Chains A and B, each alone.
Chain A
């Protein structure tokens, strides 16, 4: 599919605080095109003297929401762009974006399932686009999400995930690796072979697996999925930097 990537202006329509360090920016795009869940946009920020910085952010929203995209940004201490997006950007601000980009780490309902999504920290973002898209088109593909976070308060999209689970048959399994609230019933350790095998059990080797998060988590989960009998070609990964749970 030949398409030149062009920069366009995005306008911040809304800002939502997801957790203490994580915000979602809703961007309105004049030249919006439907994205494939899992894709990302590049954003480019330019200072008055011409100095510029560029970053990539996964789209967290479903393509069924026309004209706009959600990007979810985790504030990285000593970062150059995320503190700017967190501290300075307000509704009405504009910056350059280009996309949507990506062809490997994408899932659409027509790709079928069953679908196993595994996320660590801000790796949830592209998987959320997949889950929201699945709900938006009313797909009945069985889907499970295994999501690793440091603590209950660090769970990004927590309320939305609850809603998807109740409404839609997405089964959500949380694991909290550093601290758990009183009465916590979910997993309480880092993702490992046993956990992935347990969550994937009803899907077996036919699962389509998407894993996104910090490198260590991604590698562990990918190995675990293979150990659980899923063929390597059915496991897709996207590595983020050393952030997240």
Chain B
């Protein structure tokens, strides 16, 4: 709710929420911006905590790529701004 909330301002900040939603680590997922076709790893998207929710924007053209709202009715996710997402294969660790 103040500058401290934005302690991390890129996709790394959304890592916890993304892992909650997708069930796996998402920061290295490759995304393609639907607006300008720039490819970025999720960690590189610009994160804005809008209050009501999280907005992830393309680092190149600032278009909205992902919107997330966690409400008592459930988690709403809009990924229309992502043309394509490529998740890394599970690593053998």
Residues from chain B with Cβ under 8 Å of A236 in the complex: 43
Give complex CA distance A164, B90 in Å: 34
Residues from chain B with Cβ under 8 Å of A138 in the complex: none
Contact B1 A80 (CB under 8 A): yes
Residues from chain B with Cβ under 8 Å of A2 in the complex: 23-24, 90
Chain B, 11-59, CB within 8 A of any chain A CB: 11-13, 15-16, 19-20, 23-28, 41-44
Stretch of A94-102, A186-194, A201-209 lying at the B interface: A94-102
- Whether, in the assembled complex, A4 has its beta carbon less than 8 Å from a beta carbon of chain B, the answer is yes
Rounded to whole Å, the gap between the CB of A164 and the closest CB of chain B is 24
Contact B9 A101 (CB under 8 A): no
Residues from chain B with Cβ under 8 Å of A78 in the complex: 2
In this complex, how many residues of chain B approach chain A with their Cβ under 8 Å: the count is 30
Contact B8 A56 (CB under 8 A): yes
Residues from chain A with Cβ under 8 Å of B1 in the complex: 53, 80
Contact A104 B12 (CB under 8 A): yes
Give complex CA distance A37, B74 in Å: 32
Rounded to whole Å, the gap between the CB of A105 and the closest CB of chain B is 6
Contact B24 A3 (CB under 8 A): yes
Partner of B43, one of A4, A81, A104: A104
Contact B4 A55 (CB under 8 A): yes
Rounded to whole Å, the gap between the CB of B93 and the closest CB of chain A is 7
Known pairs A1-B93, A237-B10, A239-B10; A104 contacts B41 (CB<8 A) = yes
Residue-by-residue, is B53-93 near A (CB-CB < 8 Å gives 1, otherwise 0)?
00000000000000000000000000000000000001101
Give complex CA distance A238, B41 in Å: 12
The 5 closest A-B pairs by CB, nearest first: A104-B43, A104-B27, A79-B4, A103-B25, A239-B9
State the B residues within 8 Å of A (CB).
1-13, 15-16, 19-20, 23-28, 41-44, 90-91, 93
State the A residues within 8 Å of B (CB).
1-5, 40, 42, 53, 55-57, 76, 78-82, 98-99, 101-105, 215, 236-243
